[in-house]
Structure 1
Amino acid sequence: MSSAVVPEHPGLLPGALDPTRPRPRRTTRDWLVDSLCFLISLCWVLIATLDAASPEPTFAERLPHDWMIAADALIGLICAVALWFRRRWPLGLALATLPFSAFSMAAAAPILIIYFTLVVHRRTMVALAVTAAGLVTNMFFALFRPDPIISYWPATLWGVVITLLVLAWGMFVRARRQLVLSLRERAERAEAEQQLRVTQARQLERTRIAREMHDVLAHRISLLSLHAGALEFRPDAPAEEVARAAGVIRDSAHAALQDLREVIGVLRSESSLTVDPERPQPTIADLPSLVAESRAAGVRVDLRDEVSAADRLPVAVGRTAYRIVQEGLTNARKHARGAAVMVGVSGAPEGGLTVEIRNRWPVGEPVGDAIPGTGTGLVGIAERVNLAGGRLEHGRDASGDFRLAAWLPWPAT
């Protein structure tokens, strides 16, 4: 290949480096650079043609016939027009124009630009194969169009040097674009992974809140069902008791509806977690009020609180203990109506926190319709205890009572 000035190749979109992917539409920058390459090629064709027609040519010996000068100019124009299609068919155009490099001086600039495009956008082995073929045609060029100033081998060596420089430049541009593409893909992948982590965190938070609401709703609805059942089987109760039970039913229904609205809002929208602040979650300090609710519903509950340094109990451990007691009282109201319930909480730092709920095993069929349940309450409690690093036991013990007991770790600090 003969010497020529090669303009900087236009920057392509990342997908252009992969020949299997569809070509993107030509951008404004591509149009500008392609126009510049075309104009430079036209100027070179004009310069090479005028030089070949001069009595003392500079680049190569004068052609013996005028029609050869015109043919060389025509070949240069054809190769210049082909530059507009080099982005789509770089290999095809390189192979098609390669024979012209053996004798055409006017086509030198557009051929080198096509060759540069091939090096940038095709695999290295393909570029090296075309380079080897170009070096062969370069040897023929020095024979057909000998330089008027220097001898054959120096002229051939100059062609080899120029070809290798274009090869090195194209491989550098290709490596740089691949690096930029790799960094861009990494950044996009990191951003996608970050968005996925945020989405997963939100989903986990919604699931956690929904689980909390499930426990609260089960507790409140069991209270509501218990009072409604009392009114059903005691139609002759005093008016004060009826009014008090109706008030508890109304308050429980309103609270259950409020909790239901909150959980539906959490599960409906992505932004609900940040729009409304989450209500304070109960801890072990709220156990007396929880027991008071059950006593108001007619359940006999005995609370034994033997916790030392309760103010140092971690919030998460206290919340888990509260949910365990809540689930135990709810199960007692559902499956052992009328049975006395013993709730015991004890523990100290380093020794752990022990929570135990015990009630007599129900005898015979329950009076009236049983309170329906989801069957997942103990499963959720077991998951909570497991996440807290504790142990959970539930079932009928040797004395015949139903026992729900859990041990939760309580670090010293």
Structure 2
Amino acid sequence: MPRPPRLVMLGSTIAISLLVGSVVWTTVTSGPAPWLRLDIAAAVVACTLVPVAVTWPVAGGLALAALAAVSPVATPAATFAAINAARQRPFPTAVAVAVAGLAGHALQGRWRPLTGLSYGWWLLLMAAAYAALLGWGTWARARQALVMSLRERARRAEAEQGRRVTEARIAERTRIAQEMHDVLAHRLSLLAVYAGALEYRPDSSPERLAAAAGVIRGGVHQALDELREVVTVLRQEPAGADPDSPPGPELRDVPRLVGEAREAGLTVSFEDRTDPNLAEAAVAPVTGRTAYRVVQEALTNARKHAAGQPVRVHLAGSPGGTLVVDVRNPLSYQLPELPGAGIGLVGLTERVSLAGGRLDHAVNVAGEFHLRAELPWRT
């Protein structure tokens, strides 16, 4: 056990000194005191030994037990040493200190018996007092150990949660980097095709050459925009990546995602208030993919944690403004059919943040789980 702080030691010394002083005063005022000098000396020694008992419970407790055999004024200090040993030391050691204190009082009762109370009853009362003090101190020690254990478990749980959140963020960044890698590889492969056509067909008409050059210029600009989005994402390239893999999902794939959820048995109402006349190129790929992932994660959570409940998916926005993805579903008070790690929303928040947007999720007043993402509509 750690050494008690100075404030505890000072408070214990003052309290026991007051008790010892009250016993000495009672002895003086009760009549002739043939042992007055011995009691005063024992009181001084007892008050001196209290800090020793606080710091070294066993040594101080044994010394005060021996002092209790000499004078009754040492009783408050000796009983304090017993309960303090029970609080700071294992139970067998505390029992030894308590037995020593009881033995000291047994010797005290032999050569300085109390008037009006037989020695047997007095010794029984002292044994009961020491047993109570021993039990109280042992309970306090067990409670302190339990509190420390709970604090340690809470600290470990917090550290574990922090580690899991960090891992989720890193995993989400890695997935985003992989998607961006796929998109850039796909776009650059198209540019290579057009550049190869220019190389091998220099005799093409000026119109075709101009059209191919325009496609290459536009593709380079788009590739630079994609690279600007991913430049802050750090990852390790996985082994076996296919540089010619197709691009990831986009905003136009959200209706297909909703249809797949309906086929899987989920009741989904879908409302799209974006401009239907806009071309897909009007939405930046990073914005479209992020919106797709928001809807995908929301539908996955609904299947896991709100099975059988209807889900409402709402899309709204326009170029130059904000793309809003709003998903709601009533809460289910049944146990989820599928286990979850509880970090999907952490990764989704990281993804939306990297796309320049904001993600909010909470339970609203209607008892629904509400997931809302706001993304800048980039073109």
Q: Secondary structure at the match of 2:115?
A: coil
**1:154 maps to 2:121:** yes
- Indicate the residue corresponding to 1:345 in structure 2: none
**1:282 maps to 2:254:** no
Instruction: Give the CA deviation at 1:284.
Output: 8.8
Contact preservation (8 Å) 1:79, 1:107: no
Matches within 5 A, 1:11-410: 19=1, 23=3, 26=5, 31=7, 34-54=9-29, 56=31, 62-64=33-35, 66-82=36-52, 86=54, 88-267=55-234, 281-282=249-250, 312-314=259-261
Instruction: Give the CA deviation at 1:225.
Output: 2.2
Q: Which amino acid aligns with 1:48?
A: V
| Structure 1 portions without partners, runs of 5+ | 1-18, 269-278, 287-308, 318-413
Distance 1:110 1:42 in 2: 8
Instruction: Give the CA deviation at 1:119.
Output: 0.8
Distance 2:149 2:44 in 1: 42
Q: Secondary structure at the match of 2:231?
A: helix
Distance 1:147 1:220 in 2: 102
- Quick check: which has more Rg, 1 or 2? 1
Q: 1:55 to 1:124 in 2, by over 3 A?
A: closer
Distance 1:123 1:52 in 2: 36
Worse-superposed segment, 233-242 or 205-214:
233-242
Q: 1:104 to 1:69 in 2, by over 3 A?
A: closer
Distance 2:114 2:91 in 1: 32
Distance 2:30 2:226 in 1: 99
Distance 1:44 1:158 in 2: 19
TM-score (norm 1): 0.53
Q: Secondary structure at the match of 2:72?
A: coil
Distance 2:51 2:234 in 1: 62
Q: 1:251 to 1:144 in 2, by over 3 A?
A: farther
Q: 1:254 to 1:239 in 2, by over 3 A?
A: same
Q: Secondary structure at the match of 1:146?
A: coil
Contact preservation (8 Å) 1:217, 1:259: yes
Contact preservation (8 Å) 2:64, 2:77: no
Cα deviations by residue, 1:219-268 (Å, 9 ceiling, x for unpaired):
11111222233333444443323322222222222222222222233449
Instruction: Give the CA deviation at 1:135.
Output: 2.5
Q: 1:199 to 1:315 in 2, by over 3 A?
A: farther
Instruction: Give the CA deviation at 1:163.
Output: 0.6
Q: 1:44 to 1:175 in 2, by over 3 A?
A: same
Distance 2:195 2:218 in 1: 13
Distance 1:209 1:185 in 2: 36
Q: 1:227 to 1:135 in 2, by over 3 A?
A: same
Distance 1:35 1:221 in 2: 77
Q: Secondary structure at the match of 1:254?
A: helix
Cα deviations by residue, 1:141-169 (Å, 9 ceiling, x for unpaired):
21233212212111111211111111111
Distance 1:163 1:314 in 2: 71
Instruction: Give the CA deviation at 1:211.
Output: 1.8
Distance 1:310 1:163 in 2: 74
Q: 1:139 to 1:69 in 2, by over 3 A?
A: closer
Contact preservation (8 Å) 2:64, 2:78: yes
Contact preservation (8 Å) 2:46, 2:64: no
Q: Secondary structure at the match of 1:208?
A: helix
Cα deviations by residue, 1:300-323 (Å, 9 ceiling, x for unpaired):
xxxxxxxxx998345999xxxxxx
- Indicate the residue corresponding to 1:365 in structure 2: none
Contact preservation (8 Å) 1:146, 1:152: yes
Distance 1:109 1:227 in 2: 98
Instruction: Give the CA deviation at 1:100.
Output: 1.4
Instruction: Give the CA deviation at 1:140.
Output: 1.3
Q: 1:170 to 1:206 in 2, by over 3 A?
A: same
| Structure 2 portions without partners, runs of 5+ | 236-246, 265-379
TM-score (norm 2): 0.57
Q: Secondary structure at the match of 1:106?
A: helix
Cα deviations by residue, 1:363-407 (Å, 9 ceiling, x for unpaired):
xxxxxxxxxxxxxxxxxxxxxxxxxxxxxxxxxxxxxxxxxxxxx
Distance 2:223 2:74 in 1: 85
- For these two proteins, the number of residue pairs brought into alignment is 252
